[in-house]
């Protein structure tokens, strides 16, 4: 990703507000463009490059919501006819600015593809945060696009091995129901992918798929993240906030790493699941919600109960339907098709002995590790054919050892300097995107926080 200055288009019919936005954006280091209504905004988007749109909801001629729909609709048309420049348009992030009483409209906007919303009056920091979140998300979406298009199976998950075929059958069965699903499996086995497939295969697919990673959100913030809060509920709660439960109304709520949720919050969650109502923090209003919950854990649920990390009653409520994701080492026959799937996006190839090397390895990080290894290997090989020498040493090790009798050189085991440089760059970028927040950066890089700390000190990144 480049660190060039991003262009942000502000749209508001109120001249003073527009001016304020323009000044704020410039102060935050962006290049601001302004439009007084939706039509003007569309003109600008058509004629020049824009990285993100921040728009008011109520405007003459064309509301913020209509503008949003026009951007999405137009982007689709353009993508079909034109090439390079138009391709980033379907994912052009749009942030909605709205007044406090209008959260419902904001949710509507989110359902129509807005990236985020902020409530008026907002401060510069809030605006910046929303923009930087929207921009980094846009990047992920663009990168994932190939993945989405290229999926062949109706479920969109790669795998021909018997355990995966069984899993697909189970997904097809449970997806249309409202039943709660508990997905268990080691890290990187595809739990989130399965959760999304369940949502996509359900009658709720028009609603939102809202993911909450219970491990990534500080305990004291998790309750308000899930249930929302009323204005003044606690110090710092200067505005009302809609929680993920309300946002996922009519859709699917994905509770990732459920065992990391504090026990007393698990009790509140259980109540919400049983009664289909929630209360915001600091409120006494009962809000009806229609939610399908899919939960995931990379621990053994029974063990988590024994360790006091998971309430037994919640477990029985979640475990109505259980999906166990097999680790990659138990289905090595999937490695070749997964490799092909990941490499097709880069139009890279892989040699037979490299596939053999991949199959000989145990994959503690499962499919995610395979994806990362292949991505790096493709870069090192210049997107040509991946050979064993492009793979990490521990995978090639036993292959070359076996081959060393026949005089094959083993000096291919050194970590290629290109790999180090790449890793260093990815880490710096992740830290820049997350403004130095190591736990968010680790999430983005899909490595543990501990290994991020290790690499930062190893590479002396500041």
Ligand X SMILES: Nc1ncnc2c1ncn2[C@@H]1O[C@H](COP(=O)(O)OP(=O)(O)OP(=O)(O)O)[C@@H](O)[C@H]1O
| Residues at the interface with ligand X (CB under 6 A) | 157-159, 185, 187-193, 298, 338, 341, 367-368, 371
**Residue 157 binding target from ligand X, Mg ion, none, CB below 5 to 8 Å by type:** ligand X
Residue 193: CB minimum distance to Mg ion, A = 8
Task: Report, in Å, the least distance between residue 398 CB and ligand X.
Answer: 25
Measured from the CB atom, is 192 or 423 closer to ligand X?
192
Q: Name the binder of 326 from Mg ion, ligand X, none, CB < 5-8 A by kind.
A: none
Query: Tokens 């704020």 — which residue?
Result: 24
Name which of 259 and 434 has its Cβ closer to ligand X. 259
Tokens 């304020």, residue? 20
CB of 54 to ligand X, least distance (A): 30
Q: Which of helix, strand or coil describes residue 322? A: strand
Residue 187 binding partner per list Mg ion, ligand X, none, with a CB distance cut-off of 5 to 8 Å that depends on partner kind: ligand X
Could you tell me the maximum CA-CA distance found in the chain, to the nearest angstrom? Answer: 79
Distance CA 381, CA 377 (A): 6
> Within 13 A of 155's CA, how many CA atoms are on the CB side?
24
In the list ligand X, Mg ion, none, the entry touching 185 (Cβ below 5 to 8 angstroms by class) is ligand X
Indicate the residue among 189 and 381 with the shorter CB distance to ligand X: 189
Rounded to 5°, the CA angle 424-429-431 comes to 95
Measured from the CB of residue 370, what is the shortest distance to ligand X in angstroms?
8
> Which residue, 131 or 197, has its beta carbon nearer to ligand X?
197
For ligand X, give the closer residue by CB, 35 or 183: 183
Cβ nearer to ligand X, comparing 246 with 256: 256
In a 3-state reduction of DSSP, which class is residue 156? coil
Q: Which of 106, 195 has the CB closer to ligand X?
A: 195
Do 278 and 227 contact (CB within 8 A), yes or no?
yes
Question: Is residue 446 within the footprint of Mg ion (CB under 5 A)?
Answer: no
Shortest distance in whole angstroms from residue 187 CB to ligand X: 4
Selection from Mg ion, ligand X, none that 331 binds (CB < 5 to 8 A by kind) is none
What character string, x for contact with Mg ion (CB under 5 A) and - otherwise, covers 143-182?
Answer: ----------------------------------------
> Sheet harboring 292-297: ordered strands across?
209-213, 252-256, 292-297, 181-185, 321-325
- Cβ closer to ligand X: 193 or 320? 193
* Residue of closest CB approach to Mg ion: 192
Q: Provide the token pair at 283.
A: 């409120």
Query: Closer CB to Mg ion, residue 192 or residue 449?
Result: 192
326: which DSSP letter? P
CB of 272 to ligand X, least distance (A): 23
- What are the φ/ψ torsions at residue 316 (nearest 5 degrees)? -65, -30
> Nearest CA to 186 among 3, 332, 369?
369
What whole-number distance in Å separates Cα of residue 448 and Cα of residue 74?
Answer: 40
Instruction: Find out whether the peptide bond into 144 is cis, omega within 30 degrees of 0.
Output: no
Per partner kind, with CB cut-offs from 5 to 8 A, the member of Mg ion, ligand X, none near residue 159 is ligand X
User: How many residues line the site for Mg ion (CB under 5 A)?
Assistant: 1
Distance from the Cα of residue 286 to its chain's centroid? 30
Residue 339 Cβ vs ligand X, minimum distance, rounded to whole Å = 11
Distance CA 57, CA 13 (A): 10
Q: How far is the CB of 199 from Mg ion (least distance, A)?
A: 14
Residue number with CB closer to ligand X (105 or 202): 202
Query: Which residue number is nearest to ligand X in terms of Cβ?
Result: 190
Tell me which residues in 188-207 interact with Mg ion (CB under 5 A): 192
Q: Rounded to a whole number, what is the distance in angstroms from the first to the last CA of the chain?
A: 19
Q: At 452, list the tokens.
A: 């991020």
Cβ atoms within 10 Å, residue 439 = 14
Stretch that binds Mg ion, among 18-26, 81-89, 187-195, 386-394 (CB under 5 A): 187-195
CA distance 253 to 178: 12
CA distance 408 to 393: 15
Decide: 10 and 45 in contact? Cβ < 8 Å: no
Report the nearest approach of Mg ion to the CB of residue 331 (Å).
Answer: 18
- Least Å from the CB of residue 369 to ligand X: 9
Catalog residues that contact Mg ion under the rule CB under 5 A: 192
């Amino acid at each position: 990703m480049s660190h060039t200055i991003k262009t942000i288009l502000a749209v508001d019919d109120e001249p003073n507000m527009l001016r304020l936005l323009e000044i704020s954006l410039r102060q935050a280091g962006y290049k601001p463009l302004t439009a007084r209504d939706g039509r003007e905004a569309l003109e600008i988007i058509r004629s020049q490059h824009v990285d993100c749109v921040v728009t008011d909801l109520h405007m003459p001629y064309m509301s913020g919501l209509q503008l949003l729909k026009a951007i999405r609709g137009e982007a689709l048309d353009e993508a079909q006819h034109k090439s390079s420049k138009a391709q980033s348009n379907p994912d052009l992030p749009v942030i909605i600015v709205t007044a406090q009483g209008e959260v419902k409209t904001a949710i509507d906007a989110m359902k129509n593809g807005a990236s985020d919303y902020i409530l008026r009056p907002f401060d510069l920091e809030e605006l910046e945060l929303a923009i930087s979140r929207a921009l980094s998300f846009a990047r992920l979406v663009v990168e994932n696009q190939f993945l989405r298009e290229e999926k062949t199976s109706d479920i969109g998950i790669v795998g021909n091995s018997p355990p995966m075929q069984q899993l697909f059958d189970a997904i097809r069965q449970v997806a249309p129901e409202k039943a709660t699903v508990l997905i268990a499996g080691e890290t990187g086995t595809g739990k989130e992918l399965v959760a999304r497939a369940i949502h996509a295969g359900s009658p709720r697919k028009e609603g939102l798929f809202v993911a909450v990673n219970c491990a990534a959100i500080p305990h004291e913030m998790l309750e308000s993240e899930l249930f929302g809060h009323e204005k003044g509920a606690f110090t710092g709660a200067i505005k009302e906030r809609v929680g993920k439960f309300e946002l996922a109304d009519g859709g699917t709520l994905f509770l990732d790493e459920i065992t990391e949720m504090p026990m007393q919050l698990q009790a509140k969650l259980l109540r919400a699941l049983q009664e289909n109502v929630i209360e915001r923090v600091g409120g006494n209003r009962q809000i009806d919600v229609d939610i399908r919950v899919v939960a995931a854990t990379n621990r053994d649920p029974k063990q988590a109960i024994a360790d006091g990390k998971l309430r037994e009653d919640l477990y029985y409520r979640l475990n109505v339907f259980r999906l166990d994701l097999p680790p990659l080492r138990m289905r090595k026959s999937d490695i070749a098709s997964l490799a092909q799937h990941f490499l097709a996006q880069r139009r890279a190839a892989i040699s037979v002995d490299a596939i053999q090397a991949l199959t000989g390895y145990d994959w503690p990080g499962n499919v995610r590790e395979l994806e990362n290894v292949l991505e790096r290997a493709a870069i090192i090989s210049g997107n040509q054919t991946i050979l064993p020498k492009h793979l990490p040493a521990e995978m090639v090790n036993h292959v070359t050892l076996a081959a060393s009798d026949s005089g094959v050189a083993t000096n291919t085991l050194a970590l290629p300097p290109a790999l180090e440089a790449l890793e260093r760059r990815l880490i710096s970028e992740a830290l820049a995107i997350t403004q130095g927040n190591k736990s968010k950066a680790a999430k983005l890089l899909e490595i543990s926080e501990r290994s991020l700390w290790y690499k930062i000190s190893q590479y002396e990144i500041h």
